[in-house]
Amino acid sequence: MSAARPRRAAAVALAVLTLVAGCSHATAIPSVAPAVATTTLLTRLGADTIAIEQFTRTATHMEGVLVSRTPATRMSRYSVDLGPNGRPTRADFSVRKGDGTPLPGELQSLSIRYTQDSIYLVGHRSAGDTSRAIAARGDILPYTTNSYGLYELAFARLLASGRDSIQFSLVPLALQVRTLTPLAVKLIGKDSARIDFFGNPLYARHDGRGGIQLVDGSKTTVKVRVERVPTTDLPALGRVWAAADEAGSPIGQVSSRDTLNATVGRAHVWIDYGRPALRGRDVWVNGVLGDTLWRTGANAATQLRSDVDLVIGGATIPAGTYSLWTAVTPGGYRLVVNRQYGQWGTVYDSKRDLVRVPLREATVAQPAERFTIALEPLAGADQVLTFTWGTRQLSVPISAK
């Protein structure tokens, strides 16, 4: 091996430690030389590190630690026991603050037992235990937000079965779970897999034995990228991030929720929407966040309500509640007003479109870190409805009829 290669590996390890420590000055977090093979996955949203996960997995057991930063630092620990066929038989899960201290008033830990047709959950609190049971048959996969390591259980199950696809039931590591979500996982070639992540493809590259190397979430609603990195001291990292939270520098919610209340002429207008952040991304590529039809925000569908008929972009919108979408067409952006409302932002039925009106595109001098919807004065009683994110703004005239 050349002398350049060890220096390059050391530089990579140092870059990871600096990156995961964020803006804190306490970046001297030691690397760990584990006694057994350990995988560490770093999850980024744009330029921000939002989670780092570290785990070990054998044919009969998997356990891991997950430190996440949204909206505040939390440290989760999980362990999963597996039967001879790779199906989970039991699991334990706990969540603490980033510094390892308990979360006041919240669940201290969760114990789960999986049988052939049921899942039994016991939540442990200082005031006592709470038990629940739900029906579950077939292949199941434990899940918790920001964990991508647990998908290795699905890859291992597939590789052992000799099949190229399995329909799993996704089971959150949470006491409040009521229903299970179907999750299709398909192997692609010798080292890749496609996961049907809540209706969108999540792509993963593995080492041929199920060990994750890379996860690409650009085609999903979460837009993350997950990479394998050198092992690091997660408890120390959790303390660093928790200290940053206490100092007033938390990473915050991935997408906050906001409401716009305004008067347009004699109409009272209400708009409810999610506000994703740039996080160093160029969001206006191939549409918005890569989508040619965007929910005009994040999470739940953006909603507009008016008690008086409106005119938006020359089109009449009867009084009522609607969802708003942004479509990319060869001629530019268009605002879609849809009769369906109250749904999640991936649920769109084109047959319920009311109108599509052109949006004017412009640049702004002051970039907006978070997506912002606003109403600004125009001529007379008219106003302009604006959608601003980064250095770009889309707008359309709006007035009461």
> Does a structural domain hold residue 20?
no
> Does a structural domain hold residue 16?
no
Per-residue pLDDT, 5: 36
Per-residue pLDDT, 381: 62
Per-residue pLDDT, 36: 58
Task: Kindly report the backbone phi and psi dihedral angles of residue 183, in degrees, each rounded to the nearest multiple of 5, phi listed first.
Answer: -140, 110
> Within this chain, do residues 67 and 123 fall inside the same structural domain, yes or no?
yes
Confidence label for 16 from pLDDT (cuts 50, 70 and 90) = very low
> Within this chain, do residues 221 and 107 fall inside the same structural domain, yes or no?
yes
Q: What does the pLDDT look like over 282-330, one tens digit per residue?
A: 999 889 998 999 999 999 999 999 999 999 999 999 999 999 999 999 9
Q: What is the DSSP track for 335-401?
A: EEEES--SSBTT---GGGEEEEEE-EEEEEEEEEEEEEEEEEE-STT-EEEEEEEEEEEEEEEEEE-
> Within this chain, do residues 267 and 157 fall inside the same structural domain, yes or no?
no
pLDDT surpasses 70 at 192: yes
> Within this chain, do residues 262 and 334 fall inside the same structural domain, yes or no?
yes
> Within this chain, do residues 272 and 184 fall inside the same structural domain, yes or no?
no
End-of-domain residue from the set 245, 264, 286: 245
By C-alpha distance, which of 122, 124, 160, 125 is closest to 139? 160
Per-residue pLDDT, 216: 96
Q: What is the DSSP track for 170-207?
A: EEESSTT--SPEEEEEEEETTTEEEEEETTEEEEEEE-
Contacts of 259 (CB under 8 A, 6+ apart): 270, 271, 272, 273
154 three-class SS: helix
Give mean pLDDT, residues 247-274. 92
Q: Beta partners for 131?
A: 122
Q: What does the pLDDT look like over 119-148, one tens digit per residue?
A: 999 999 888 899 999 999 899 999 999 999
Per-residue pLDDT, 7: 40
Which residue shows structure tokens 């369906």?
340
> Does a structural domain hold residue 6?
no
Domain around 308: 255-400
> Within this chain, do residues 326 and 185 fall inside the same structural domain, yes or no?
no
End-of-domain residue from the set 207, 226, 245: 245
> Does a structural domain hold residue 133?
yes
Q: What does the pLDDT look like over 22-44, one tens digit per residue?
A: 443 333 444 444 445 899 999 99
320 three-class SS: strand
> Within this chain, do residues 160 and 284 fall inside the same structural domain, yes or no?
no
> Does a structural domain hold residue 159?
yes
Q: What does the pLDDT look like over 79-112, one tens digit per residue?
A: 999 998 899 999 999 999 999 999 888 888 999 9
Omega before 71 within 30 of 0, i.e. cis? yes
Q: Strands of 13-72 (E only): list them.
A: 39-45, 48-57, 61-68
- Which amino acid is residue 135, in one-letter code? A
Q: What does the pLDDT look like over 57-82, one tens digit per residue?
A: 999 999 999 999 988 999 999 999 99
pLDDT surpasses 80 at 346: yes
Q: What is the DSSP track for 264-281?
A: ETTEEEEEEEEEEB-TT-
Phi-psi region of 336 (alpha: psi -120 to 50; beta: other; left: phi over 0): beta
> Within this chain, do residues 79 and 165 fall inside the same structural domain, yes or no?
yes
Task: Kindly report the backbone phi and psi dihedral angles of residue 81, in degrees, each rounded to the nearest multiple of 5, phi listed first.
Answer: -95, 140
> Within this chain, do residues 160 and 120 fall inside the same structural domain, yes or no?
yes
pLDDT surpasses 70 at 179: yes
pLDDT surpasses 80 at 11: no
Q: Beta partners for 51?
A: 43, 68
Number of structural domains in the chain:
2
> Within this chain, do residues 103 and 144 fall inside the same structural domain, yes or no?
yes
By C-alpha distance, which of 240, 260, 265 is closest to 251? 240
> Does a structural domain hold residue 332?
yes
> Within this chain, do residues 51 and 109 fall inside the same structural domain, yes or no?
yes
pLDDT surpasses 50 at 9: no
Q: What's the token pair of residue 306?
A: 């008016």
> Does a structural domain hold residue 274?
yes
> Within this chain, do residues 180 and 208 fall inside the same structural domain, yes or no?
yes
> Does a structural domain hold residue 8?
no
Confidence label for 115 from pLDDT (cuts 50, 70 and 90) = very high
Per-residue pLDDT, 373: 98
Per-residue pLDDT, 284: 93
End-of-domain residue from the set 193, 224, 245: 245
The average confidence (pLDDT) of the chain is 89
